[in-house]
């Protein structure tokens, strides 16, 4: 389960942020995870909650996860569109398969709330 190692890496980074900013604790962290990131969100949340007790500055932190949809841009007609399925989408306007992925692979920390 690679979600555990990703959660552990995040917790280490958060602990370093708290130390660098001289924060008493981190109260909330918000991350964006794309549907194509390969991360199972429930497993990631579980791992985060299971491991956060090992980091004194992060032990009470709330994890908020925003799932990022798949957005493609058609290289033929230029239309951008969102899809639910990860399997071989086609442009709804021109039916082209010549697509560029715009979003959906993200794994990024977008907000960290500190108590100083």
Residue 94 backbone dihedrals phi, psi, to 5 degrees: -120, 0
Q: Is 74 annotated as a binding residue?
A: yes
User: What residues have CB less than 8 Å from 43, skipping those under 6 apart?
Assistant: 1, 3, 4
Q: Is 77 annotated as a binding residue?
A: yes
Q: Is 3 annotated as a binding residue?
A: no
Considering Cα of 111, then 1, then 37, then 93, what sign does the dihedral take? negative
Q: Is 104 annotated as a binding residue?
A: no
Q: Is 71 annotated as a binding residue?
A: no
**Residues making up the binding site for Zn(2+):** 74, 77, 91, 94
**Residues making up the binding site for Ni(2+):** 2
**Residues making up the binding site:** 2, 74, 77, 91, 94
């Amino acid at each position: 389960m690679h979600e555990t190692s990703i959660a552990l890496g995040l917790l280490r980074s958060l602990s370093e942020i708290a130390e660098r900013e001289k924060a008493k604790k981190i109260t909330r962290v918000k991350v964006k995870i794309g549907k194509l990131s390969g991360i199972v969100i429930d497993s990631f949340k579980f791992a985060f909650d299971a491991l956060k007790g090992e980091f004194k500055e992060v032990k009470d932190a709330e994890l908020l996860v925003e799932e990022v949809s798949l957005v493609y841009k058609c290289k033929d007609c230029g239309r951008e569109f969102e899809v639910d399925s990860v399997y071989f989408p086609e442009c709804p306007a021109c039916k082209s398969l010549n697509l560029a992925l715009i979003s959906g692979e993200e794994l990024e920390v977008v907000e960290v709330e500190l108590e100083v």
